[in-house]
Amino acid sequence: MQDIRKALYVGSRSDGRLIQRPMSPHLQVYRYRLSMVLSIMNRITGVIATAGATLGVFWLGAAAKGPKAFATARKVTGNPLGQLVLLGWLASVIYHTVGGIRHLIWDSGYRYDKKEVNKDGPVAVGVTAGVSTVLAAGLLAVSICRKRSRAKAGKVS
Amino acid sequence: MNASAPHIEVMRSQLGRARGLGAGHSGVAHWWAERVTAASLLPLSTWFVVQMFRLGGADHTEVVKWGGKPVNATMLIALIITTFYHAQLGLQVIVDDYVHGKAHLPTRLLVKIGTSLLGLLGVIAVIKLFVRGSTAK
């Protein structure tokens, strides 16, 4: 027995035999609620945001190392698959930020009633989708514009 | 003390009572640090997104020039330290919740060491970029 908590699940039947007592209902028996999905998403997006920040550190490292390493980094950030990863990072950071703001509001004692939580959930999803789309489209547009103006100036990549 | 006066017997040492902490052995430092770093990250990450709009599609020369500015380097280091500190606090909670038994301590140490080293790597990269950018013509 590795975990002391498991000891608490050992009970005895009326005939004296030791049995493992049942655990309380877990995830699979509850009806799907948006609030529970959003809660776990806050954790998952936090982990993804950390992974993205790690990529960001490597991007900075490549820029610090020199033009050659940075060219490799740009190959990653420039191709569609890399940009999909960046989009995932962006959306995760946005959702984690929205979720974090909600947590700060709850911590201050507001919007924590059942009705309010259920009302704010879809808003959080909408804000995340909207802000992510606008930022991603904006960033893509900026990089395309810069690429074009550089091509006009006659510089290579 | 009057023995007949109503009182509650508490099985707790005087030292434990003076410290005022329970079985968690610590107070609300972790909780507060998580909130303070979260609130700090709001302006810092907003700044970073704005910078990405300035740098979208930029080549190496432009990025180095950007990184050579003291304000940018300062903000980047603040962002990196706050980010990885916040990540450490958050990942620690996840590990505490889902990793039990013998695996708990090594996993927790791994999170602590990993996030610390990544943060340091980021700081070093910013410093190197800053030196490169501030000395380049």
User: Residue A23, by phi and psi: left (phi above 0), alpha (psi -120 to 50) or beta?
Assistant: beta
Whether residue A120 lies inside any domain: the answer is yes
- pLDDT at residue A1, rounded to an integer: 47
Whether residue A114 lies inside any domain: the answer is yes
Put simply, the answer to whether B59 touches A53 (Cβ < 8 Å) is no
CA distance A14 to chain B (A): 31
Measured between alpha carbons, how far is A41 from A92 in angstroms, rounded to an integer? 9
pLDDT score of B87 more than 60: yes
Question: Which has the minimum average pLDDT: B24-28, B57-61, B133-137?
Answer: B24-28
Put simply, the answer to whether B52 touches A139 (Cβ < 8 Å) is yes
CA distance A15 to chain B (A): 31
**Mean pLDDT along residues B108-124:** 98
Nearest CA in chain A to B59: A157
- pLDDT at residue A31, rounded to an integer: 83
Chain A residues in contact with B39 by the CB 8 A cut-off are: 104
Nearest CA in chain B to A50: B87
Q: What is the DSSP string of A42-95?
A: HHHHHHHHHHHHHHHHHHHHHHHH-HHHHHHHHHHHHSHHHHHHHHHHHHHHHH
Q: What backbone torsions phi and psi does residue A19 show, to the nearest 5 degrees?
A: -135, 165
Chain A residues in contact with B49 by the CB 8 A cut-off are: 135
**Mean pLDDT along residues B72-101:** 96
Whether residue A61 lies inside any domain: the answer is yes
User: CATH no. for residue A74?
Assistant: 1.20.1300.10
pLDDT confidence tier of residue B66, bands split at 50, 70 and 90:
very high
What is the share, in percent, of chain A residues with pLDDT greater than 90? 72
Its domain, for residue A100, covers 29-152
Domain count, chain A: 1
Query: Token pair of B119, please?
Result: 């943060």
The residue that leads in pLDDT, A137 or B15, is A137
- pLDDT at residue A85, rounded to an integer: 97
Nearest to B60 among A67, A107, A150 (CB): A67
Q: Could you tell me the residue ranges of all domains in chain B? A: 26-135
Whether residue A45 lies inside any domain: the answer is yes
CATH code for the part of the protein at B26-135? 1.20.1300.10
pLDDT confidence tier of residue A154, bands split at 50, 70 and 90:
confident
Q: Return the CA Rg of chain A.
A: 24
The helix (H) or strand (E) run that includes residue A19 is strand A18-20
pLDDT score of B96 more than 60: yes
CB pairs under 8 A between A and B: 94
Put simply, the answer to whether B59 touches A107 (Cβ < 8 Å) is no
pLDDT in tens, A53-109: 999 999 999 999 999 999 999 999 989 999 999 999 999 999 999 999 999 999 999
- pLDDT at residue A4, rounded to an integer: 67
Measure Cα distances from A65 to A18, B25, B55, B79, B127 in Å: 64, 44, 18, 20, 11
pLDDT score of B34 more than 50: yes
Q: Which residues of chain A approach chain B closer than 8 Å at the C-beta?
A: 2-3, 5, 43, 46-47, 49-50, 53-54, 56-57, 60-61, 63-67, 70-71, 74, 93, 97, 100-101, 103-104, 107, 135, 138-140, 142-147, 150, 155, 157
What is the share, in percent, of chain B residues with pLDDT greater than 90? 74
Mean pLDDT of chain B: 91
- pLDDT at residue A87, rounded to an integer: 97
**Mean pLDDT along residues B3-22:** 75
**pTM metric for this prediction:** 0.84
Chain B residues in contact with A50 by the CB 8 A cut-off are: 84, 87, 90-91, 115
One-letter amino acid at A151 equals A
**Mean pLDDT along residues B101-123:** 97
- Minimal CA–CA distance to A64: which of B82, B76, B131, B56? B131
